[in-house]
Amino acid sequence: MTTKTKPVHVAVYDTLADWETGHATAHLRSGRFHRESGSYEIVTVGLTGEPVTTAGGMRIVPDLTLDALTPQDSSLLILPGADLWDAGDDLAPYARKARAFLDAGVPVAAICGAVAGIAREGLLDDRDHTSAVVQYLEAQQGYGGAKRYQDRDAVLDGDLITAGPTEPVAFAREIFRRLDVYTPEVLDAWYRLFAKSDASAYEVLMAA
Q: How many domains does the chain have?
A: 1
- Residue 187 covered by a domain: no
- Residue 199 covered by a domain: no
Domain residue limits at 153: 8-182
- 112 catalytic? Reply is yes
Contact in structure between 146 and 134 (CB atoms under 8 Å): yes
Q: Give CB contacts under 8 A, 24+ apart, made by 135-144.
A: 140/116, 143/119
Average pLDDT of adjacent 10-residue blocks, the chain of 208 residues: 86 97 97 90 98 98 98 98 96 98 98 97 98 96 96 98 98 98 96 96 91
Query: Cα separations (Å) of 98 from 63, 87, 92?
Result: 18, 19, 10
Assign residue 96 the CATH number of its domain. Answer: 3.40.50.880
- Which position among 112, 132, 169, 189 bears the catalytic label? 112
pLDDT at position 164, please? Answer: 97
- Residue 166 covered by a domain: yes
- Residue 198 covered by a domain: no
- Residue 3 covered by a domain: no
- Residue 188 covered by a domain: no
Distance CA 50, CA 34 (A): 34
pLDDT at position 1, please? Answer: 61
pLDDT at position 84, please? Answer: 97
pLDDT at position 5, please? Answer: 83
The structure's pTM equals 0.96
- Residue 189 covered by a domain: no
pLDDT at position 142, please? Answer: 92
- Residue 208 covered by a domain: no
